[in-house]
Amino acid sequence: MSKRKLKLDDIADMRAYERERDDFRKQVIELKRRRRVSVGPFITLVFENRDTIRFQIQEMARIERLYADSQIENELRVYNPLIPEAGNLSATMFIELTDDGLLREWLPKLVGVERAVYVQIGEGAEAERVSLTADSEHDEQLTRSDITSAVHYVHLSLGADQIARFASAPVTLGIDHQNYRHATLLSDVTTAELITDLRDDV
């Protein structure tokens, strides 16, 4: 699957997009199903790739009626960094609370949660924990000292040996925050999907 960044010509105009939208939407829903990982009761990460980001931009352009090239180019500038290069993973992290009371309770308690995400490659004494980093493009807008955002963008960078182990050993996605400590073992389906991001030759 291509890891190329999106260009203006990759974003269909509104009429062309309406013709492909139903099929493309179904494809991306299935893609996100394989790339979605719930960690604990209400935090979910969706690992992005070129297709998920193109869908994001197309849908935003459709809803907000963005027709000018300059408007689309601005969206490309914002979202292209979320398409991972080989050796990297990129994810959107959602705090999935819909109740106002719970939001008021938890968003202040989860300040810094975007810096508490990790993957653990392997198990037991051989396990290696690697931290994810907050996306620098969005971090300044989303990070506050008293309350966190319900959406964050995070990245993981792995070396060749780590990628080889990622493909063969159990991999856990976790959050180690003082108010939220949970972890999830990645399914074989999700691991296989993420290897397509990490490797040059897939």
DSSP per-residue string spanning 115-181:
GSEEEEESSGGG-EEEE-EE-HHHHHHH--SS---SEEEEEEE--HHHHHHHHHS-EEEEEEETTEE
| Chain mean pLDDT for the chain | 92
Write the pLDDT tens digit of every residue in 67-101: 888 999 999 998 999 999 999 999 999 999 989 99
Q: Can you give the pLDDT at residue 1?
A: 46
Each residue's pLDDT tens digit, 160-188: 999 999 999 999 999 999 999 999 999 99
